[in-house]
């Protein structure tokens, strides 16, 4: 038993995948946390050094630097995610993406997945799918730690049937 699904992958779907991946990646979370909180600490160190060099009371330099550091830690995550979106848009704009974006026909069989686009096809056995995740709008079948088959739910009329099939094939993998 197998199934065939047809869907259209848009630039917005690909952007959402990149944001989903960054928000769920342990490495990206650690990087965001480090950048978010290390900078305010550096600001406080600078305030201390500046106060000592200028022979000014520490509180006078601490308050403005602490305020700036606080703003940084509050607004940096939004900047970080917007930066990811901008970089992804640039990468999409630089090259040919016919095999990535556009119409996909995916055949899911007992052996694995065959994804066909205007540029050709890719094949992967079920053992090559290392992770299965989903959000409200999309299914993600990770074939590496940084790439996935992106399946928008809006184009799948029998989404529950597809999810049941995937759960059977990937029962030993990480699920949403």
Q: Are 129 and 147 in contact (CB under 8 A)?
A: no
- Compute φ and ψ for 14, nearest 5 degrees: -70, -40
Sign of CA dihedral 124, 127, 133, 134: positive
Q: Specify the pLDDT at position 153.
A: 94
Q: Are 119 and 98 in contact (CB under 8 A)?
A: yes
Q: Specify the pLDDT at position 168.
A: 87
- Helix (H, G, I), strand (E, B), or coil: what is residue 120? strand
Q: Specify the pLDDT at position 175.
A: 54
Q: Specify the pLDDT at position 172.
A: 61
CATH fold group of domain 3-10+97-169: PH-domain like (2.30.29)
Q: What pTM value is reported for the model?
A: 0.76
* Spans of all domains in the chain: 3-10+97-169, 16-94
Q: Specify the pLDDT at position 26.
A: 87
Could you list the mean pLDDT of each consecutive 10-residue stretch along the chain, which spans 176 residues? 87 92 88 90 91 89 91 92 88 74 91 90 91 92 90 91 88 60
- Residue 47's CB is within 10 A of a number of other CB atoms, namely 22
Q: Specify the pLDDT at position 98.
A: 64
Place of tokens 């694995």: 112
């Amino acid at each position: 038993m197998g199934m065939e699904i047809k869907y259209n992958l848009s630039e917005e779907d690909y952007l959402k995948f990149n944001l989903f991946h960054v928000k769920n990646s342990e490495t990206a979370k650690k990087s965001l946390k480090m950048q978010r909180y290390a900078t305010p600490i550096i600001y406080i160190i600078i305030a201390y050094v500046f106060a000592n060099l200028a022979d000014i009371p520490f509180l006078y330099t601490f308050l403005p630097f602490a305020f700036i550091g606080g703003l940084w830690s509050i607004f940096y995550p939004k900047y970080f995610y917007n930066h990811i979106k901008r970089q992804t848009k640039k990468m999409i704009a630089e090259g040919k993406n016919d095999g990535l974006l556009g119409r996909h026909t995916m055949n899911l069989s007992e052996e694995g997945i065959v994804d066909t686009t205007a540029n050709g096809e890719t094949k992967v056995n079920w053992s090559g799918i290392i992770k299965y995740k989903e959000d409200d709008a999309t299914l993600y079948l990770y074939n590496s730690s940084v790439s996935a088959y992106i399946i928008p739910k809006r184009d799948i009329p029998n989404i529950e049937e597809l999810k049941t099939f995937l759960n059977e094939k990937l029962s030993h993998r990480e699920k949403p």
